[in-house]
Structure 1
Amino acid sequence: MWRIFSFPLSQIHPAVLALQLHLPNKHMVRFREDDIMSNIVDRERDKRTMLTAFFLKNKADETKPKYLYKDFPKHYTWNGATRTWTPRILKPQRGRIVSANPAEGERYYLRLLLSNVKGPTSFEDLCTVNGVTYATFRKAALEIGLIENDDSLSQCLTEASLFQFPNALRRLFATIMIFCEPGDIRKLWNEHFNAMSEDHQLYCQSVERVQNMVLTDIRAILQSMGKNLTDFDLPNLTEEDLQYGIHREVQEEYGIVVEAEDLCAKDELNSDQKLIFDEIMTHVDNDRPGVFFIDGPGGTGKTFLYKALLAQVRSRGLIALATASSGAAANNMPGGRTAHSRFKIPICVDNNSVCNIKKQSGTAELIRSSKLIIWDEASMAKRQAIEAVDRTLQDIIGVTLPFGGKIMVMGGDFRQVLPVIKRGTRAQIVDSSLRMSPLWSITKKMRLTINMRALNDPWYCGFLLRVGDGTEQSIEGSYIRIPDNMTIPCTDRQNSITELINAVFPSLQNNVHSSDYIISRAILTTKNDSVDEINDKMIDMFQGEEKVYYSFDEAEDDHHNYYPTEFLNSLTVSGLPPHKLRLKIGCPIILLRNIDPSHGLCNGTRLICRGFQRNVIDAEIVVGQHTGKRVFLPRIPLCLSEDDMFPFKLKRKQFPIRLSFAMTINKAQGQTIPNVGVFLPDSVFSHGQLYVALSRGISRKNTKVLVHPAKDFKQPGVYTSNVVYREVLLDG
């Protein structure tokens, strides 16, 4: 006769618990009525299961590669008669562990460890982290970072305070309030006030005054992120703001310091730039409305011209707004902001959208006060977004002229990547372009034609323009030949990738501490899978101790655990950080979210990792106007804004960064990378991608291309596809 015993799983011996991982009936262990519990446990301990045999195999073959338990069947096969694992001879197979719900306690945590720890040799080894053996699977998983600590936000601030940057700590506190969904903000304030106020305490003895100074700093940070101090449970300011009647946004713009070199830039303009500069400044001097589009390939000096215009207008005590479609381009201009953050453009725009700006707000007053607006990389913005700004400005200013009668200067290069339309057809992508907007017909087009970047290599300049215009000689449709002195031979995939890495990152081991070396190099490719492949290879080569951060994933409203944790962990989604984030001191990283655009933390900002603790990363901005600024990055919950690729809403809590030894071609748009590699395991699939990839570098000598041949061509040379939609080109 059989009887079912029910008792806490935490009291079951690991061998019995392990046996249950292979049983579909997850909550019951059956024993004969006349058996004694101790005998049952002893018998199960001596009985070799797949899991215990996995431990023994790892222990016996310590010199061989280590695998996760779920990946073990790819390389070994289970012999049921001898109850041992033997090397697999036939094709690989994937293993499976019976699912477990987080409510099942230790059984779930055992499964979590087996899904993330390679090559354990025993249950004790599985529970050992950094030389310390923990009593439960949960404690081991917590120490590794596979589950979130209940007090992680407070620990994040405590760890950040060790770096002794109070100003950066205050910015981190504001970031946590906005992005990290804290449960008790007042408690965090009380616990970390002293650390956040250390610098102010050196110069002021009054506790009340110090508190006001800290709150004022935090208020400014919150306002730059679009929030107010009154939105949160914090002490009230006991002093009035000294600036009466002036909106913060207007104060910030008036406070931008005009650099002497930017003010002198007008004297160094070439003939094309000088012609455009004089035309726009004539409109500024005579207060005449105008809409301009400055077209020019990468390196023709568009940013240099923008800086000269901004400096000239601001030096007169007037307001000039600098915006861009990408964070990287915005960071290249003094006071630059992304267009979405400046104009509050909706994430999902249609033909009738307007921006979320109230007429009485500081942003509205800033727009009314501005004399000139510059929008860089406008060619990669959806026309619906630009039209929404047009409608909004007309409404705010009360003038029915384009953009409310403001002087609008847009710039870009239609040879580059066009607005991204998810799974969009060619017709949909072209329709979303500024070229298809009614605004285009009333825009004065101006061109920059001298490629400053390639003056020492006129042939390369001409080659790039032919690629961008789609006029480069092609064979079999759209395949063009890459110059022989730019190519890396494609033999074995891994060896070829290694050769490309060595060409772009020569003497890497001798330059791991050089920010200039690291940030001046990158490998560009088409898809995130290839980006991850190269980044994983690079971080293995990079010197230093590795730190691994795991994300905490969940499917929102999944009360029945239809989507196990390791399935969610396995998802690699564009726009989200990886589940397993591997970092080393000095490695380059790229930000994936707009956190504080006014202070350089934009989607696409490149940084260097300077230090890390369990719950916080210390990083340094290394590009743009905020170069050298140290920032703290916490884990934040991230969801896809338009996630229709899954039947559930994925929520991933992770540091909002990726390694950036390699990045996608689209992410690199707007950046100049002196030494660039291009990895094309597949042909480009969108307009302008090949042109963008090849034009990020500064010469053909410093640009290397690795192409996996799509087909066998009878002609010598390396060929790859070039996609160009000629209907969107300026003269098309």
Structure 2
Amino acid sequence: MIESERLFFIHNQKKVHRCESYENLRNQQALGSTDISNIGQHVILPSSFTGGARFMMQNYLDAMSLCKWRRNDGHFVGKSGVQLDNKNVAPYNKYLLKRYQAHINVQWCNQGSSIKYISACEESWWIFKYDVNYRHPVVIRLPFHLPDQQQVVYEADDDIKDVLDRPSISSSMFTSWMTCNKPRELGYAIGRIHSVSPKFGEAYFLRILLNKVKGPKSFEEIHTVNGELCSSFKDACYNLGLLDDNKEFIDAIKEANLPGSGLSLNEDQLKNLTLYEIEKILLGNNSSLKHYGRMPYPDVDSVSSSNNRLITVELDYDIPNLKNEFDQLFVALTNEQRDIFLDIMDAVKHNKGGVFFVYGYGGTCKTFLWKTISVAIRAQSQIVLNVASSGIASLLLTGGRTTHSRFIIPINLTEDSFCRINPKSDLASLERKTPLIIWDEAPMAHKHAFEALDRTLKDILKCVNPTNLIIPFGGKMIVFGGDFRQILHVVPGDSRQNIVNAYLSSSYLWQQCKVYILTKNMRLTVGSDPYAIEKIRDFSTWLLDIGEGNLGGPNDGEAIIDIPRDFLITNPHDPIISLISFVYPYILENFNIADYFQERAILAPKNEVVQEINDCLLSLFPGVQKEYLSSDSLCQSEFVHDEFDANLYSPDVLNGLKVLGLPNHMLILKVGVPVMLLRNIDQKNGLCNGTRLQVKSLGKCVIEAVILFGSNIRNQTFIPRMSLTPSEDKTLFKFQRRQFPLAVCFAMTINKSQ
């Protein structure tokens, strides 16, 4: 009855109560208007009305804030060897759980038949407006607004002067909150701000900034970036990197501009030279400006007249120098390496084809063997394609590329996949002209990748000889290399049996492989310190015994082993600091030395440990840190369905997502810090997924760095922000993140280091 009367009162008052912004009311007063009965809009049902649609939605969003608030307070329980903290706990009602010894869901009632009568006692409680529930911790909603845009509620027959003279009108909860921030008062509550659609313009950008600016004391402080007052909230978002804008690319080019050599070019010459350089980069990555319809093309005279630039690049070597280099490399081969080298070169010379696998653990110098074979073939003006399953391994190969880049292997592979190579393309012609392909770190790839290349080469080479359709890889000679005792291909969430079944050794191609084994550890022949050599030998033997399953007694792959005390961190109080001191001794004095970060890194099995080590070292590192914030947005492909509600995925929700392979929303860097590249940018110049670099300067739109590893070591480069999309399918929607494709790299995962 009381609720009915309340609704009846609101219904009768809806023609009386109106709502308008403070600024518009002041403008009306300045124009001399006193009648405000036709200004603003009717107030029909306030969001505070219990049971209303807006009331229910606001409480739902409060509950979601509580779920998001679950923090790691250091407490955890162990179950099956796994530590579980607050993030693993579903929201629950502790009283009901203890009372009924069961998890009880508190659900939103949306059916009239589910509503029950309440007792007289509860009715009295409601009538006297006593609290019928409580929430801990408290969720405080902050209704924000643009300057002077706070909403004012008044009656239609009120005088405008009386309305504006009210003491509480010129202030609001939002402005009072900013006032309280001046002497920062701490409380215990969860704050939440209302969502806003992008169509509201500046209010939308203000909401984004409120999630980034801590404790602002005024509107001006909210849109001040690096001490500069921006003209609008949108400009402030752009300067913080929170928005996508093509202007950013222009700013990045200007920022990365280096002083020239005095060469004078007119605008047309500069445009043509720029297009030519872009075309060279695209051609080196199996593409061309011709593939982009709206892009201009450089003058024909500027571009190589070769029919196939891919072949030209692979033949562009200094033959006399290669022959001299080969003489030096060949005499350094061990007997095992020499036998393998001679077999492979004989097969290449007589065009026998075949599939080979060189099996050797770390230290047997497989890379040295690949280099010797490559130099020998290129010295004869022939082509050898060096590829690797990982970007970090491809950097060690002369002219190396990742397999996915070189052969355009699909990211999401199936048992029927093909490489995206047209038989009439330049890349297909390169494959036909190539007598040998070397594929390093082969065990790290899924067997479907090898089978996709097998089907593709058969399709490309069948025109040369129809019998190539029944020969592995179409008769092309392939040499694989790797060690099955190292980290293998990762199959997320799959069983042990399926992971083993994904190996190359489980493919139908393995039966065609001729296996060679390298056993001599070349690291034991380097240096003259007998003690150091003995230590390396002991460590190498222990690792091999683990890989062969010789430790821990008879087992099926799971065993308890004893780790030598020399390999353990014995400090139980702060093991991370002990590890850092061992791997990075005197880091504050030595980080400017060129070779310091080239010789050391910390490897860990899990991303969580890597993140903890990197955060610790970054805090110890000298210098001023700089924060880079990403611009996150939903992909346009998500808007094809009418029922898709983009408002559920506001920028702060997307900002909070941490996805494997993507940089975090907030990237914190310092000058001198080692970083890892997370995307393939320019593999020919050593910029691929896994490349380690050292930061030299931190700009607004580009980051200057030098390469620490591989054949392009010490080369200077500029890294811009890029729009990145996660490749994994764990997210229920597709989104893109524009951020620098970098991650701090004092430590890295074992898988990433291979």
**Both structures adopt the same fold (TM-score exceeding 0.5):** yes
Q: Residue 102 and residue 315 in structure 1: after superposition, are their counterparts in 2 closer, same or farther (change >3 A)? A: same
Equivalent of residue 218 in structure 1, options 265, 275, 278? 278
1:274 paired to 2:274: no
Paired position in structure 1 for 2:99: none
Q: Residue 4 and residue 299 in structure 1: after superposition, are their counterparts in 2 closer, same or farther (change >3 A)? A: farther
Equivalent of residue 3 in structure 1, options 17, 28, 36? 17
Kept in 1: contact 2:395–2:401 (CA 8 A)? yes
Q: Residue 474 and residue 610 in structure 1: after superposition, are their counterparts in 2 closer, same or farther (change >3 A)? A: farther
| Deviation (angstroms), 1:648 | 1.3
Unpaired segments of 5 or more residues in structure 1? 14-18, 62-71, 79-93, 165-197, 670-732
Q: Residue 214 and residue 251 in structure 1: after superposition, are their counterparts in 2 closer, same or farther (change >3 A)? A: same
Give me the whole-angstrom Cα distance separating, in 1, the residues matched to 2:305 and 2:256: 35
Equivalent of residue 648 in structure 1, options 714, 733, 736? 733
Give me the whole-angstrom Cα distance separating, in 2, the residues matched to 1:563 and 1:8: 31
Equivalent of residue 620 in structure 2, options 508, 528, 541? 541
1:59 paired to 2:178: no
1:239 paired to 2:310: no
Paired position in structure 2 for 1:487: 568
Equivalent of residue 524 in structure 1, options 596, 599, 603? 603
Equivalent of residue 437 in structure 1, options 503, 507, 511? 507
> What is the root-mean-square deviation of aligned Cα atoms in Å?
3.2
Paired position in structure 2 for 1:468: 547
Kept in 2: contact 1:509–1:542 (CA 8 A)? yes
Equivalent of residue 691 in structure 2, options 592, 601, 605? 605
Equivalent of residue 742 in structure 2, options 657, 673, 684? 657
Q: Residue 598 and residue 240 in structure 1: after superposition, are their counterparts in 2 closer, same or farther (change >3 A)? A: same
Please list, as runs of the form range in 1=range in 2, the aligned pairs for 1:68-87 lying within 5 A after superposition. 76-77=187-188
Task: Output one character per residue of 1:487-508: Cα deviation in whole Å (capped at 9) or x when no partner.
Answer: 223534xx32222222221111
Paired position in structure 2 for 1:415: 485
Q: Residue 435 and residue 544 in structure 1: after superposition, are their counterparts in 2 closer, same or farther (change >3 A)? A: same
Q: Residue 321 and residue 143 in structure 1: after superposition, are their counterparts in 2 closer, same or farther (change >3 A)? A: closer
Q: Residue 56 and residue 625 in structure 1: after superposition, are their counterparts in 2 closer, same or farther (change >3 A)? A: same
Paired position in structure 2 for 1:31: 153
1:108 paired to 2:177: no
Give me the whole-angstrom Cα distance separating, in 1, the residues matched to 2:179 and 2:359: 64
Give me the whole-angstrom Cα distance separating, in 2, the residues matched to 1:210 and 1:651: 33
Q: Residue 243 and residue 54 in structure 1: after superposition, are their counterparts in 2 closer, same or farther (change >3 A)? A: closer
SS at match of 1:410: strand
Give me the whole-angstrom Cα distance separating, in 1, the residues matched to 2:295 and 2:688: 27
Paired position in structure 2 for 1:320: 384
SS at match of 1:548: strand
Larger radius of gyration: 2
Kept in 2: contact 1:5–1:28 (CA 8 A)? no
| Deviation (angstroms), 1:261 | 4.3
TM-score (norm 2): 0.73
Give me the whole-angstrom Cα distance separating, in 1, the residues matched to 2:24 and 2:301: 58
Kept in 2: contact 1:619–1:631 (CA 8 A)? yes
Q: Residue 521 and residue 282 in structure 1: after superposition, are their counterparts in 2 closer, same or farther (change >3 A)? A: same
| Deviation (angstroms), 1:549 | 1.0
Q: Residue 105 and residue 359 in structure 1: after superposition, are their counterparts in 2 closer, same or farther (change >3 A)? A: closer
SS at match of 2:601: strand
SS at match of 2:214: coil
Q: Residue 439 and residue 12 in structure 1: after superposition, are their counterparts in 2 closer, same or farther (change >3 A)? A: farther
Task: Output one character per residue of 1:61-98: Cα deviation in whole Å (capped at 9) or x when no partner.
Answer: 7xxxxxxxxxx7xxx325xxxxxxxxxxxxxxx54333
Paired position in structure 1 for 2:98: none
| Deviation (angstroms), 1:50 | 8.3
Q: Residue 228 and residue 255 in structure 1: after superposition, are their counterparts in 2 closer, same or farther (change >3 A)? A: same
Task: Output one character per residue of 1:5-34: Cα deviation in whole Å (capped at 9) or x when no partner.
Answer: 234999999xxxxx9953599998342333
Give me the whole-angstrom Cα distance separating, in 1, the residues matched to 2:452 and 2:578: 47
Task: Using the TM superposition, name which of 310-319 and 549-558 deviates more.
Answer: 549-558
Q: Residue 647 and residue 41 in structure 1: after superposition, are their counterparts in 2 closer, same or farther (change >3 A)? A: farther
Equivalent of residue 43 in structure 1, options 163, 168, 190? 168
Give me the whole-angstrom Cα distance separating, in 2, the residues matched to 1:102 and 1:519: 46
Equivalent of residue 290 in structure 2, options 218, 230, 247? 230
Paired position in structure 2 for 1:394: 458
Please list, as runs of the form range in 1=range in 2, the aligned pairs for 1:17-28 lying within 5 A after superposition. 22-23=142-143
| Deviation (angstroms), 1:378 | 0.7
Paired position in structure 2 for 1:144: 240
Tell me which amino acid in the other structure corresponds to 2:300: E
| Deviation (angstroms), 1:623 | 1.1
Task: Output one character per residue of 1:229-287: Cα deviation in whole Å (capped at 9) or x when no partner.
Answer: 22343444333467545311100100145655455211101122112112212212333
Kept in 1: contact 2:627–2:667 (CA 8 A)? yes
Task: Output one character per residue of 1:501-527: Cα deviation in whole Å (capped at 9) or x when no partner.
Answer: 222211111122223212322222233
Kept in 2: contact 1:591–1:605 (CA 8 A)? yes
Tell me which amino acid in the other structure corresponds to 2:299: T
Equivalent of residue 559 in structure 2, options 478, 484, 501? 478
Q: Residue 487 and residue 41 in structure 1: after superposition, are their counterparts in 2 closer, same or farther (change >3 A)? A: farther
Q: Residue 344 and residue 569 in structure 1: after superposition, are their counterparts in 2 closer, same or farther (change >3 A)? A: same
Task: Output one character per residue of 1:402-448: Cα deviation in whole Å (capped at 9) or x when no partner.
Answer: 12222211001101122122322112211111000111111110011
Q: Residue 646 and residue 12 in structure 1: after superposition, are their counterparts in 2 closer, same or farther (change >3 A)? A: farther
1:406 paired to 2:492: no
| Deviation (angstroms), 1:326 | 0.7
Please list, as runs of the form range in 1=range in 2, the aligned pairs for 1:85-484 lying within 5 A after superposition. 94-134=190-230, 136-149=232-245, 151-161=247-257, 163-164=258-259, 202=263, 211-232=271-292, 233-240=294-301, 244=305, 246-257=307-318, 260-261=324-325, 263-398=327-462, 399-400=468-469, 401-453=471-523, 456=533, 457-473=536-552, 478-484=559-565
Q: Residue 236 and residue 3 in structure 1: after superposition, are their counterparts in 2 closer, same or farther (change >3 A)? A: same
1:596 paired to 2:718: no
Give me the whole-angstrom Cα distance separating, in 2, the residues matched to 1:470 and 1:270: 27
TM-score (norm 1): 0.75
Give me the whole-angstrom Cα distance separating, in 1, the residues matched to 2:166 and 2:226: 30
Kept in 1: contact 2:140–2:191 (CA 8 A)? no
Q: Residue 51 and residue 604 in structure 1: after superposition, are their counterparts in 2 closer, same or farther (change >3 A)? A: farther
Tell me which amino acid in the other structure corresponds to 1:22: L
Give me the whole-angstrom Cα distance separating, in 2, the residues matched to 1:213 and 1:414: 48
| Deviation (angstroms), 1:621 | 1.9
Give me the whole-angstrom Cα distance separating, in 1, the residues matched to 2:26 and 2:651: 23
Kept in 2: contact 1:289–1:405 (CA 8 A)? yes
SS at match of 2:748: strand
Tell me which amino acid in the other structure corresponds to 1:59: P
Kept in 2: contact 1:474–1:481 (CA 8 A)? no
Paired position in structure 2 for 1:667: 752
Task: Output one character per residue of 1:370-389: Cα deviation in whole Å (capped at 9) or x when no partner.
Answer: 12110001111111110111
Kept in 1: contact 2:19–2:154 (CA 8 A)? no
